[in-house]
Structure 1
Amino acid sequence: MSEASLQAGSALRLAVAALAGHLSRYEPLPALIADHDDIEALLQSPDNPALRQTANEYLKEINRLLESSDIYVMTPDGNTVAASNYGMPGTFVGQNFNYRPYFQDAIAGRQARFYALGTTSLKRGYYFSSPVEVAGKILGVIVFKVDIDSIESSWRGGEYKIFVADPEGIIFMTGSPEWLYSGILPLDAPRLARTQTSRRYAEAELKPLPATESVYHGQHLMQIPGGGTTREYLRLSHYMPEADWTVNVLLDTASVRTQARTALVAILLFICLAALGVAVLWQRRARVEERLRLQEETRNELERRVEERTADLALVNEQIELEIAERRLTEQELRKTQGDLIQAGKLAGLGQMSAALSHEFNQPLAAAKSYADSAALLIDRGRVPEAQDNVRRISNLIDRMASISRHLRNFARKPNEKLGPVPLPEVIADTLEIVAPRLRSADAELVVELSGTDLTVKAGPVRLQQVLVNIVSNAADAVEGLDDRTIVLSAFRSESGIVVEVHDRGAGVPAAIAERIFDPFFTTKGVGKGLGLGLSISYNIIKDFGGNITVRNHPDGGAVFSIVLEASAPSREAAE
């Protein structure tokens, strides 16, 4: 609240300075105009038509040059004999304003100020008046009216709500039109009587502003209903003695309270994170102690076994010394050979797994990267719910990659995963999420055509998704750079089961390549663009499902990969 008060104080000082500067521009002008010969001559002969016309023209020209609202001259009885708006509807000429305080002060020989709603023009303005004195005698009064609409319009639509109230607490200027002529103080009879005597607001309807005030740690707060809700504002005021009004600045405290809540949430999160860190450290320490204990027990057990074996070996040591000498060289060679074989097996396994992981994780990682970049842009634009949805999608992709890694061993041996009913539309939808970045990079369009409603196959969902990702990605590679980059993924029932086909518009598959396309490490792509494992893994997966996968050329051009799987009844959980 203190920080917000400082900000509102700066806005208040700017508003007061703007008002004071605007009014001070016109303050000396009535006295200067009062010394003009035409004005003095008119007040000496107020009934002279020629002098009236000359004074009217002079006031009209001055009013145009100074961009003021109105300038007019009154005789000692308050009648207006010349005005800048002569000849116009609602002219002040002939009107009597002797009830205005600015006339009463000026006719008494003092320069005066007054702000009011015009009784004739019904326009708000600030009045400067000055007596017209000739040879020590006051012959009349000249009045200079300044329009305040330009200042008021600058207050609208800003961060702060600004209004000006008179000594009776009635709002005379405001950037919120609905508050105009509302009283922030009780409109009791004495206040209404003083206002009516000067006719400051003519016939305008005065009404109380339905606001309540309170004090919070030295800050004045104002609650104002509007639009079906009640808003709370921090209020700062400054009294301008020369104008006899009070400038008020209101700052909505909703943002202040939001910042306070945000800080509180941040503190609570920090405390939770600190507690979590302490718990993690405590758990890690407990695990280290447990590991040290197990190591100690293992070492003791090993020492016991060594002692037992040493005792046994000591009994037969003499008998096998010669045998050991003869076999030592053979044993060394055997160990070397065994080590080489183990290392070769490890390298082969690691190579196969690394190549498979590199190939199978490429598409999910690309999709995760796209979602992460999109989430960052959404957060910058304040669209947090959409960013959270992207983060959830990234989490799902990571879960899928974890499942994929568990199934990569299918390339080497048959997995133990049980097969079950898998809804084909759901697998295709998940596949589209993974291959979407690859399709965009190739500027390819994937058209999905599903014939029938019951397309449930006997398979494993994650591995079936692997197969579709591989085939659709290869199709995107085939159509990249072509004029027609359409890929059609269709699914339908046939006599042999449920068929899934992927048709691209590429160059097709030559007969010589079709015979080897499902072999491991066979690829037609350039160096660094493919390992030749995707279709081989896909072939093994489909065979493990009890299905079949083939490739042929379409009569209209391009390659068609066909997957035939056994149909399965939907699971009871999916039906429910």
Structure 2
Amino acid sequence: MRDRATARAPIVGLFLAAVAGLGWIVWTTSYAEALRQVESQGRSDLRLAADRLVTGLQRYRSLAVSLADHPALTALHAGGDRDAAKAVLLRNLDQTGALNAFYADREGRVLASAQGEVPVDLAARPWFLRAVNGALGADRGISAGAARRAYFHGVPAFGPDGKVRGVLVLVADIEALEREWSGSRPSVFFTDALNQVFVTNRSELLFWQRTDTAMIGPGGDVVGVDTRMVGDHEVWHQRLSPYVPRAALHLVQPLPVIGLTGEALVDVGPARRLAWLQTAVVAVLCLFFGSLLFLATERRRALSIANARLEGRVKDRTRDLEQANTALRREVLEREEAEAALRQAQAELVEAGKLSALGQMSAGISHELNQPLMAIRSFAENAVQFLERDRPDRTAENLTRISQMADRMARIIQNLRAFARQESVPQTRVDVTRVVAS
């Protein structure tokens, strides 16, 4: 038993290794397939978040473009009423929820402001210089006074000669845009050219700077990021926040329109659970059918062993039966020989009996034959005498008697021969009167 178990151990180990290898292949394939589905959903969510941000910022830009040529603002270049211009700016500010709006000339001097708080050194800002040159300028930053994250839209205002004579600046409130999707899934953040998080639905990630191997916080805190590639998918393993999945699919979408890059961390937990579930199902099925095959093999082996034992017993029994059969045939042959000898002895006894019976019958037969013979002799002598006396009638009578005696002797001999040869004499009618008379 122990030898058989030792012989089966390598086969069982090889089967378990094959199941483990198959499970790894199934897990890898299932995980990659599940990641493709997670990526598809994550990219949809990232595009939706990016569209919300871009659309919200574009709405402020459209307002700035439509407001740049307002008569109350253009009149400021000719000494117009600043209070009227401020009222226009403040009314639009209240309607849109922007942080601030102000109007400046080409040199960066503010002619009218809704809140009265404007960035210093305005003429040195790249986005303002771009608007002065006749293009739409935009950039992110921190609003003056409120110290809030803001997005600046600079729209040029053209004079009658077609040249830029002023710039309308509309400051959009980033936090107001974030409130619409704060805390939603997945974790989304938007980084600038320095890879610093400027917009996100996870407030704890604000102003963190991403590097290739870590995330650096505003206070200098460093959180390691282990990046692993699963096929074409980039999976982050990190501990940034309890609200950010520790194992997440990292997705990136450039947003050149607003100068930011959208990034998302999509939880891969469902994909891992699905992959493990499919792997477990395949492994259980393999182990189940392997167990059935093992049990069938063991049963077949047990049946083979029992069959071999049975065949051995049958062979032994057959050999015993053959020996018994040989002895029986020998005994039958001896009995047949004894029966033949017995039949021969019986035949000899029958013959001896016949001879004895013939010996015993010889006296009676001799008597039976002697009587006709003596009668024939007597009748023959009488016939001679009758012939000498010339009496033919009596001679004929004696000759007839001699013929009858001869027939009688012939019948006696015929009966004796039939008895000796065991022949049957055909039955005939007998004249009993004549027999009695004879």
TM-score, length of structure 1 as denominator length? 0.42
Per the TM alignment, residue 244 of structure 1 is displaced from its structure 2 partner at its CA by: 1.2
Find the aligned partners of 2:122 and 2:273 in 1 and give their Cα distance: 52
Per the TM alignment, residue 250 of structure 1 is displaced from its structure 2 partner at its CA by: 0.9
Structure 2 residue aligned with 1:214, among 227, 251, 269? 227
Find the aligned partners of 2:183 and 2:193 in 1 and give their Cα distance: 26
Higher relative contact order (CA 8 A, sep 6+): 2
Per the TM alignment, residue 66 of structure 1 is displaced from its structure 2 partner at its CA by: 2.8
Identity of matched residues, %: 21
Closer, same or farther in 2 for the Cα pair 1:158/1:29, shift >3 Å?
closer
Find the aligned partners of 2:107 and 2:227 in 1 and give their Cα distance: 48
Closer, same or farther in 2 for the Cα pair 1:206/1:57, shift >3 Å?
farther
1:92 is aligned to 2:117:
yes
Tell me the secondary structure at the aligned position of residue 26 of structure 1: helix
Question: Any unmatched runs of 5+ in structure 1?
Answer: 86-90, 187-203, 305-576
1:179 is aligned to 2:205:
yes
Deviation readout 1:244-289 (Å, 9 max, x if unpaired):
1100011133443333333333222222111222234446667888
Letter in 1 for 2:233: Q
Residue 140 of structure 1: aligned partner: 166
Residue 433 of structure 2: aligned partner: none
Per the TM alignment, residue 153 of structure 1 is displaced from its structure 2 partner at its CA by: 3.3
Map 1:145-224 onto structure 2 (within 5 A): 145-185=171-211, 205=218, 207=220, 210-212=223-225, 214-216=227-229, 217-224=231-238
Residue 90 of structure 2: aligned partner: 60
Structure 1 residue aligned with 2:112, among 76, 82, 96? 82
Letter in 2 for 1:101: P
Residue 142 of structure 2: aligned partner: 117
Find the aligned partners of 2:275 and 2:109 in 1 and give their Cα distance: 61
Find the aligned partners of 2:89 and 2:264 in 1 and give their Cα distance: 37
Closer, same or farther in 2 for the Cα pair 1:209/1:243, shift >3 Å?
farther
Find the aligned partners of 2:67 and 2:148 in 1 and give their Cα distance: 23
Structure 1 runs, 4 residues or longer, greater than 6 Å off: 286-291
Per the TM alignment, residue 93 of structure 1 is displaced from its structure 2 partner at its CA by: 6.0
1:6 is aligned to 2:40:
yes
Closer, same or farther in 2 for the Cα pair 1:165/1:146, shift >3 Å?
same
Find the aligned partners of 2:125 and 2:290 in 1 and give their Cα distance: 73
Closer, same or farther in 2 for the Cα pair 1:173/1:256, shift >3 Å?
same
Question: Any unmatched runs of 5+ in structure 2?
Answer: 1-31, 322-438
Per the TM alignment, residue 120 of structure 1 is displaced from its structure 2 partner at its CA by: 2.3
Deviation readout 1:483-507 (Å, 9 max, x if unpaired):
xxxxxxxxxxxxxxxxxxxxxxxxx
Find the aligned partners of 1:243 and 1:154 in 2 and give their Cα distance: 19
Find the aligned partners of 2:71 and 2:50 in 1 and give their Cα distance: 36
Q: CA RMSD in A?
A: 3.6
Residue 559 of structure 1: aligned partner: none
Q: Contact between 1:155 and 1:174, CA under 8 Å: does it hold in 2?
A: no
Deviation readout 1:137-165 (Å, 9 max, x if unpaired):
43321111222224423444333110000
Q: Contact between 1:174 and 1:180, CA under 8 Å: does it hold in 2?
A: yes
Find the aligned partners of 1:121 and 1:99 in 2 and give their Cα distance: 21
Closer, same or farther in 2 for the Cα pair 1:221/1:119, shift >3 Å?
farther
TM-score, length of structure 2 as denominator length? 0.55
Q: Contact between 1:221 and 1:232, CA under 8 Å: does it hold in 2?
A: yes
Tell me the secondary structure at the aligned position of residue 131 of structure 2: helix
Letter in 1 for 2:238: I
Deviation readout 1:205-229 (Å, 9 max, x if unpaired):
5757634353412222333334699
Find the aligned partners of 2:48 and 2:119 in 1 and give their Cα distance: 40
Letter in 2 for 1:273: F
Per the TM alignment, residue 105 of structure 1 is displaced from its structure 2 partner at its CA by: 1.3
Counting matched residue pairs gives 275
Bigger mean CA offset, 278-287 vs 232-241:
278-287
Map 1:312-323 onto structure 2 (within 5 A): none
Per the TM alignment, residue 73 of structure 1 is displaced from its structure 2 partner at its CA by: 1.1
Find the aligned partners of 1:124 and 1:267 in 2 and give their Cα distance: 52
Tell me the secondary structure at the aligned position of residue 195 of structure 2: coil
Residue 127 of structure 1: aligned partner: 152
